[in-house]
C-alpha cells in the first residue's frame, strides 16, 4: 500500500487510532506480539479465539489465521509484514477485506516499566473507515483488555 508516505492530515478521515498505557515493559509487550503462542491468546475482541496457520515474523513474511467469533462465525485473515523495528514498531498490510495497513507501536513510558501500546489502522477509503469505526474502535479496546490480562499471567 502506498499510504506510508502520506501525512496524518491527509489520512485522518481514513484511520482509526487507539492506544493505551500498559503496565508492562516495552520488551515484554513486544514479545506478547512477536510470540505467536502468546499472541493467539489475546488477539481480537472479547470472546474471540484464533487458529494461526502461518506466522512468519519478518518483513515480507505472511501471517494467516482464522478468528473464531463467539457465535461460531469464522473470519479468515491474511496479512504481510511490511516493517518490524524491535521493540518499537510492527507494520503489516491486511490483504483480505477489509484492506488496511496496521501500524502497532510500543513506546517506553517513564522509567520503562510501562508501555504506550498503539494501533493505527489506515484504510483505503474514508467510506470504509467510517463504516468500520463503530466496530473497530471498541474491538481495539477489548484487544488491549485481553493483552493486559495475558501479560498479567506471564
Can you list the domains of the chain with their CATH numbers?
15-153 (3.30.530.20)
Q: In whole angstroms, what is the distance from residue 18 CA to residue 21 CA?
A: 11
Q: What is the pTM of this model?
A: 0.91
Q: What is the pLDDT of residues 59-86, one digit of tens each?
A: 999 999 999 999 999 999 999 999 999 9
Examine the pLDDT at 87 and tell me if it is beyond 60.
yes
Instruction: Look at residues 49, 106, 38, 101 and name the one whose alpha carbon lies nearest to residue 72.
Output: 49
SS3 content of the chain, % helix, strand, coil (to 5): 35, 40, 25
pLDDT bin (cut points 50, 70, 90) of residue 2 is: very low
Q: Which three cell numbers stand for residue 34?
A: 512477536
Amino acid at each position: 500500500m502506498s499510504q506510508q508516505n502520506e501525512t496524518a492530515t491527509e489520512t485522518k478521515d481514513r484511520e482509526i487510532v487507539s492506544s493505551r498505557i500498559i503496565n508492562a515493559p516495552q520488551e515484554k509487550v513486544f514479545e506478547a506480539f512477536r510470540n505467536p503462542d502468546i499472541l493467539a491468546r489475546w488477539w481480537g475482541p472479547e470472546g474471540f479465539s484464533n487458529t494461526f496457520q502461518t506466522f512468519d515474523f519478518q518483513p515480507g513474511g505472511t501471517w494467516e489465521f482464522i478468528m473464531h467469533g463467539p457465535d461460531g462465525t469464522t473470519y479468515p485473515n491474511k496479512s504481510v509484514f511490511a516493517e518490524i523495528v524491535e521493540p518499537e514498531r510492527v507494520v503489516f498490510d491486511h490483504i483480505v477485506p477489509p484492506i488496511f495497513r496496521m501500524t502497532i507501536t510500543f513506546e517506553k513510558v517513564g522509567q520503562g516499566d510501562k508501555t504506550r501500546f498503539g494501533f493505527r489502522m489506515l484504510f483505503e477509503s474514508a467510506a470504509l473507515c467510517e463504516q468500520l469505526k463503530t466496530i473497530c474502535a471498541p474491538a481495539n479496546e477489548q484487544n488491549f483488555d485481553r493483552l493486559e490480562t495475558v501479560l498479567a499471567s506471564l
